[in-house]
């Protein structure tokens, strides 16, 4: 071949490579923190909160009415999204990843007070770098990768920069924003914009994310935008708080003007990202996922009330009832989802990774396994073949509607919760609900449906074996005389010590869920 032929072939190859790059879809994954199923206008259960940009996103794609987080608390769900594996398999079952102790292997519990029926397992405190993450898969496929916002899966050497992300802003390992949502905040290397008083962290972070999009618009990208909103601490822009104070109905369970202002700033950040995709001509080539890491917070207090209400769902964050794990979800996938569509398919956090791999035509690594499945069929408007999804939460933080350490199985309209060793003589106890007829989980049908209980509990047992979960064990020190079943589900508030007994120096506060 002569020089002209070589040049012609090289040009054709280069053009083909450019065309292939142009056909790769980008990924924008927006994860809200503690945003409940009833905290957006997607499902018709709020008139107080306003989320026009979430609605705008939903009109472009598909809304899932039965989307679930992997856990009722944040870090386990975040780990599940990145690995496609259940918290049961990972051993990461509590949001303890900001604490200094590094634990990489879950172990059985060894001690519990006599009023507890079980020994809770000791969970891991970091997302191990041995797990292959979604970011690593996409990075190997040629994607630019960036993480913005909350991480809460461990500081370096377990930070986003060690888990497949090229960029991490603000590179913060904590459970929430550093000090405040409104500047001045306390991030070590992330300051407010000069001349912008009282800047909101989501405004600042979204602006940085847009700048990153502008720099990487010529190549496929994975932008992991994990908001700090709407987690504690509860503060917001003053003008927004006052605006919503004037709208609040004192008789409504959703009446915190501060929380409404936080939801608005969250929604504004979604709008900023969508505006950038439109302006840069990227919207038709970008998959957008919007969801939350767990249900809305029903146990803290702000403005004299709880931050939010998850009604008609029961419970909230840190509970295994629907209010703790059913979350808002909208997905836009060009060429796959139909604009303005809705799906009743049951999906969960573990599904996003295998779904993206299949839809992008990328293979899993040899030996890589997922506890989730590809939801591509549901995104196309069809049904999923999977029988059951599971959620594992072997802990019992004392929030309203708390349950003893448990695991749940959803199958069709039915949901079974196994309370480990919660029955007589160390046997498991069960709660069975038909969610179609009883969305608020008020009527336990376990006694009326023993065969269904046995069937779903057998699936739970197989799931625990498959994931090699470290499960709660019977507490050998359990004393029935000290157990008060009537306290189950009631919020446990720490009792203040009398002033005369207060220590000279305050002890470090227990970690907030």
Reference 31, options 420, 291, 257, 284; nearest CA is 291
Distances (CA, A) of 179 to 34, 182, 187: 17, 9, 8
**Residue 26 contacts by C-beta under 8 Å, 6 or more apart in sequence?**
143, 220, 221, 222, 223, 282, 285, 286, 287
pLDDT digits (tens, 9 = 90+) for 223-255: 999 999 999 999 999 999 999 999 999 999 999
Distance, CA of 255 to CA of 246 (rounded, Å)? 10
- Does the predicted TM-score (pTM) go above 0.85? yes
- Residue with more model confidence, 35 or 386: 35
Tens of pLDDT, residue by residue over 431-469, are 999 999 999 999 999 999 999 999 999 999 999 999 999
d(CA 303, CA 250) in angstroms, rounded, equals 11
Q: How many other CB atoms sit within 10 Å of the CB of residue 362? A: 15
At 6 the pLDDT is 43
pLDDT of residue 9 exceeding 50, the answer is: no
Predicted local distance difference test score (pLDDT) of residue 486: 86
Instruction: Name the CATH topology of 22-386.
Output: Alkaline Phosphatase, subunit A (3.40.720)
Per-residue model confidence (pLDDT) at position 494: 60
Q: Is the CATH number of domain 392-487 3.30.1120.10?
A: yes
> Residue 496 — pLDDT band, cuts 50, 70, 90?
very low
Which residues, in sequence order, are bridge partners of residue 410? 389, 415
Q: Which residues pair with 226 in a beta bridge?
A: 31, 149
Q: How do the domains of the chain map onto residue ranges?
A: 22-386, 392-487
Q: What is the pLDDT of residues 267-317, one digit of tens each?
A: 999 999 999 999 999 999 999 999 999 999 999 999 999 999 999 999 999
Q: What is the mean pLDDT of residues 10-34?
A: 67
Radius of gyration of the chain (CA): 23
């Amino acid at each position: 071949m002569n020089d002209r032929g070589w040049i012609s072939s090289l040009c054709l190859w280069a053009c083909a490579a450019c065309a292939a790059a142009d056909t790769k879809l980008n990924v924008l994954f927006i994860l809200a923190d503690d945003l409940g199923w009833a905290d957006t206008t997607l499902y018709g259960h709020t008139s107080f909160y306003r989320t026009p940009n979430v609605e705008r996103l939903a009109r472009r794609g598909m809304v899932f009415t039965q989307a679930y987080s992997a856990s009722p608390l944040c870090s386990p769900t975040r780990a599940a999204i990145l690995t496609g594996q259940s918290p049961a398999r990972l051993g990461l079952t509590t949001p303890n990843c900001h604490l200094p102790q590094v634990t990489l292997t879950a172990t059985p519990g060894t001690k519990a007070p006599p009023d507890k029926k079980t020994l809770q397992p000791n969970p891991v405190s970091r997302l191990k770098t041995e797990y292959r993450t979604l970011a690593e898969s996409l990075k190997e496929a040629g994607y630019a990768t960036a993480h913005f916002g909350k991480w809460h899966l461990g500081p370096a050497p377990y930070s986003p920069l060690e888990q497949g992300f090229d960029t991490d802003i603000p590179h913060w390992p904590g459970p929430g924003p550093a000090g405040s949502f409104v500047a001045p905040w306390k991030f070590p290397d992330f300051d407010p914009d000069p001349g912008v008083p009282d800047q909101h962290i989501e405004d600042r972070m979204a602006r940085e994310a847009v700048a990153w999009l502008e720099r990487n618009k010529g190549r496929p990208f994975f932008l992991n935008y994990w908001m700090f909103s709407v987690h504690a601490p509860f503060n917001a822009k003053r003008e927004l708080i006052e605006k919503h104070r004037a709208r609040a109905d004192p008789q409504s369970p959703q009446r915190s003007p501060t929380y409404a202002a936080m939801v608005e700033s969250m929604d504004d950040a979604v709008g900023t990202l969508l505006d950038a995709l439109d302006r840069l001509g990227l919207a038709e080539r970008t998959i957008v996922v919007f969801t939350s890491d767990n249900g809305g917070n029903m146990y803290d207090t702000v403005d004299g009330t709880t931050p939010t209400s998850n009604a008609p769902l029961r419970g909230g964050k840190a509970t295994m009832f629907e209010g703790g794990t059913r979350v808002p979800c909208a997905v836009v996938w060009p060429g796959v989802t139909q604009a303005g569509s809705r799906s009743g398919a049951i999906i969960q956090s573990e599904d996003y990774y295998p779904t993206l791999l299949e839809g992008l035509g990328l293979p899993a690594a040899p030996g890589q396994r997922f506890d989730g499945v590809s939801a591509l069929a549901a995104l196309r408007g069809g049904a999923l073949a999977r029988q059951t999804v599971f959620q594992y939460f072997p802990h019992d933080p004392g929030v309203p509607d708390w349950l003893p350490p448990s695991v749940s199985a959803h199958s069709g309209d039915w949901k079974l919760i196994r309370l480990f060793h919660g029955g007589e003589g160390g046997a498991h106890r069960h709660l069975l609900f038909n969610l179609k007829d009883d969305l608020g989980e008020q009527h336990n049908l376990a006694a009326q449906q023993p065969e269904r209980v046995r069937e779903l509990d057998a699936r739970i047992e197989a799931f625990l074996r498959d994931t090699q979960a470290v499960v709660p064990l019977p507490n050998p020190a359990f004393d029935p005389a000290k157990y008060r079943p009537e306290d189950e589900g009631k919020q446990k508030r720490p009792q203040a010590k009398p002033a005369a007994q207060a220590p000279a120096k305050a002890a470090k506060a227990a970690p907030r869920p």
